[in-house]
Amino acid sequence: MARYVKRIDHIALVVTDIDKALEFWQDALGLDLSHMEDVPSEKSMVAFLPAQESEVELVQPTSEDSGVARFLNKRGPGMHHICFEVYDIEETMEHLKAKGMHLINEEPEIGTGGKKIAFIHPESTHGVLVELYELSEKEPEIRRDRARELAERVITEGQTVANAAMEFLRGLTGNGNKGKQN
């Protein structure tokens, strides 16, 4: 068992057009799209496609003056970074520093849900930006809430569609319960 790294959490890919990219990742390769969101703070649109315990993240810049846009202009579409979940981020960073590796973050940054992240400079990794990530204790809870929220939204939308279909069928058969309040 690896001492520092638990698994690959995600691989982030920069694309010029998320919808176009989904024609490969979703339609052709058959990964599920779990969700897509606009991240104004990063001036980008992101899409998440889980593959078992890891995820592919597609990132499309939404403004020319973002880090992702600069990356895209300089290097073209492709891999932006690979993220490893680690057991203990501080311990991993100390170890890497002792090995003379160039860390972009001196201390872990606290991300959404209290998770800790840090980046290793590509000059130490032979050309790949590497992200380290340690799960916070609160995160499984936050993820559960989010999954529940998404599920509820899907059910509500499904219900709306079902109701509309019923209305339509009632209209066809002239069997609507128009007098009834509901």
Question: Which residues here bind Zn ion, judged by CB under 5 A?
Answer: 12, 83, 131
Report the SS3 class of residue 127.
coil
DSSP-assigned states of every residue in 131-173: EEEE--TTHHHHHHHHHHHHHHHHHHHHHHHHHHHHHHHHHHH
- Which residue is nearest to Zn ion, using beta carbons? 83
Cβ distance to Zn ion smaller for residue 12 or 96: 12
Closest to Zn ion by CB, 27 vs 107, is 107
Q: How far is the CB of 119 from Zn ion (least distance, A)?
A: 9
CB of 55 to Zn ion, least distance (A): 9
Least gap, CB of 182 to Zn ion (angstroms): 48
Rounded Cα gap, residues 26 and 28, in angstroms: 6
Q: Which is nearer to Zn ion, 143 or 180 (CB)?
A: 143
